[in-house]
Structure 1
Amino acid sequence: MNTVATGIQLGSATVHEAAGRIGALPSGIKPLDLAMRLDAPAFPVRTPPGDNLWLHRAVHAAKPGQVLVVDTGAGFEYGYWGEILAEAALARGLAGIVIHGGVRDSRRLVEMGWPVFAERVCIRGTGKDPHGRGTLGEPVAIGDVEIREGDVVVADADGVVCIPSDRAEEIRALSAQRDQAEADHIRRIRQGESTTAIYSLP
């Protein structure tokens, strides 16, 4: 599976906790395949509900290595993304897509191995209104998280977290420390200690 690294190479849950429990996107956004992972800078996209013209534009506006992070305006019941757009994104060297909406051609997308994180799978088609209002590279809000271009997107089987770019180095270090601490806790558990003792729980 494709993973594009920016330095944070830890699990989404670890990064979320280490960051102070910020940046978690809605839990309904999941990978099409549990092996898919992302670690890449964001390119935000806003598209009108039920219309994917701005996604066609985004594929050519985003820089290689970026991940499309798409706000569909809560128009969930559409398949905005499929095999054709994924092939175009691969050709452009994009890292993947995180979409608060539906995708289709799901079996083929899994076979391609290119990371796709979506709120659902939906066969319903979209329009391409040249007058539809959307944005490329401007901040978007998904759930209670604002995503700006360049923010770090870490995604895996557990979910998706977006970290402000100006905190990436700090959170990288905190995430590594947390990962090391958890490895030590596992070692202690295997030696017979209880979780209540390790975490000083009542």
Structure 2
Amino acid sequence: MTQTQEQTTQANTTPPEFTDEDLRRLLKLGTATVYEAQGQRGSIASEIRPLDPAMKLVGTALTVNTTPGDNLMFHQAVLVARPGDVLVVDAKGFTDAGPWGDVLTLAAQQAGIAGLVIDGSVRDSEAIIDAGFPVFSRGISIRGTTKVDPGQVGETINLAGTLVDRGDVIIGDRDGLVVVKAADVLDSLAKAEAREAKEEEFRRRILDEGASTAELLGLLPTLQRYGW
């Protein structure tokens, strides 16, 4: 393969870039629609919930791997984060200490960070909600943490069973969280919008024609086989 051919191949395999508007469209579609459009892939453990049900977030993942009960890597992540990043933290599901609070929230907002997802706990939850900073966590704990243990920022993490890479897109709303791989954003957006259009047609037919969900989803033959 010549150098020109190699460069062409690399260019052809580079995923298309997505825009902030693409991310806003994904957020508007909602996590459930995006998850279904991806073939029921990318969901993050349902135990990780928004501090306030009204919270929504979307952004590119800045991954953090941290020792339970220590928050040194949180401070490093805020230092290196880019505007629009969501900090996605593997705190190993440890909920008996709150490594993130109102001061880190303020610093994150000043850095343009779009939100926090943590498989662990936070504290100062009322102040975080009042600040309008989206946080999805497994729990809340008033207990403090140390600031001594090394970890990783920007490496692949296993977040409660879901692999997340630096630059993946994270979407969160009251239904939960879903990750979209960076290379799949535009494809997932197109599929999610097609799914939403199909469901909108379902709604129209239910209202205008009295159609049943069993009919719309092609379930009548299956139900008939079971004697219904």
TM-score for the superposition, normalised by structure 2: 0.83
The answer for the alignment partner of 1:107 in structure 2 is 126
User: 1:181 & 1:35 partners in 2: Cα distance?
Assistant: 26
User: 1:148 & 1:27 partners in 2: Cα distance?
Assistant: 19
Report if aligned partners of 2:92, 2:160 keep a CA contact under 8 Å in 1. no
Task: Choose from 151, 169, 189 the match for 2:206.
Answer: 189
Unaligned residue ranges in structure 1 (runs of 5+): none
Listed one character per residue, the Cα deviations across residues 44-98 of structure 1 (whole Å, up to 9, x for unaligned) are: 0011010011101111111111000000123222111110000000000111000
Q: How does 1:149-164 map to 2 (within 5 A)?
A: 149-164=166-181
Unaligned residue ranges in structure 2 (runs of 5+): 1-19, 224-228
Q: Return structure 1 stretches of 4+ with deviation > 3 angstroms.
A: none
**Which piece of structure 1 moves more, 76-85 or 170-179?**
76-85
User: 2:111 & 2:168 partners in 1: Cα distance?
Assistant: 20
**Which piece of structure 1 moves more, 151-160 or 139-148?**
139-148
Q: How does 1:34-53 map to 2 (within 5 A)?
A: 34-53=53-72
Other structure's SS at 1:79 match: coil
Other structure's SS at 1:8 match: helix
Q: Does 2:90 correspond to 1:71?
A: yes
Deviation at 1:190, TM superposition (A): 1.8
Q: Report which of the two structures shows the higher radius of gyration computed on alpha carbons.
A: 2
User: 2:78 & 2:121 partners in 1: Cα distance?
Assistant: 17
Q: Which has the higher contact order (CA 8 A, sep 6+)?
A: 1
Other structure's SS at 2:43 match: coil
Q: Does 2:58 correspond to 1:58?
A: no
Other structure's SS at 1:162 match: strand
Report if aligned partners of 2:50, 2:174 keep a CA contact under 8 Å in 1. yes
The answer for the alignment partner of 2:189 in structure 1 is 172
Report if aligned partners of 2:93, 2:138 keep a CA contact under 8 Å in 1. no
Deviation at 1:121, TM superposition (A): 1.2
TM-score for the superposition, normalised by structure 1: 0.93
Deviation at 1:104, TM superposition (A): 0.8
Q: Which has the higher helix share?
A: 2
Q: Percentage identity across aligned positions?
A: 41
User: 2:91 & 2:54 partners in 1: Cα distance?
Assistant: 25
Listed one character per residue, the Cα deviations across residues 126-173 of structure 1 (whole Å, up to 9, x for unaligned) are: 1111xx131001111112211111101011000001111001110010
User: 2:93 & 2:126 partners in 1: Cα distance?
Assistant: 24
Alignment RMSD (CA, Å)? 1.2
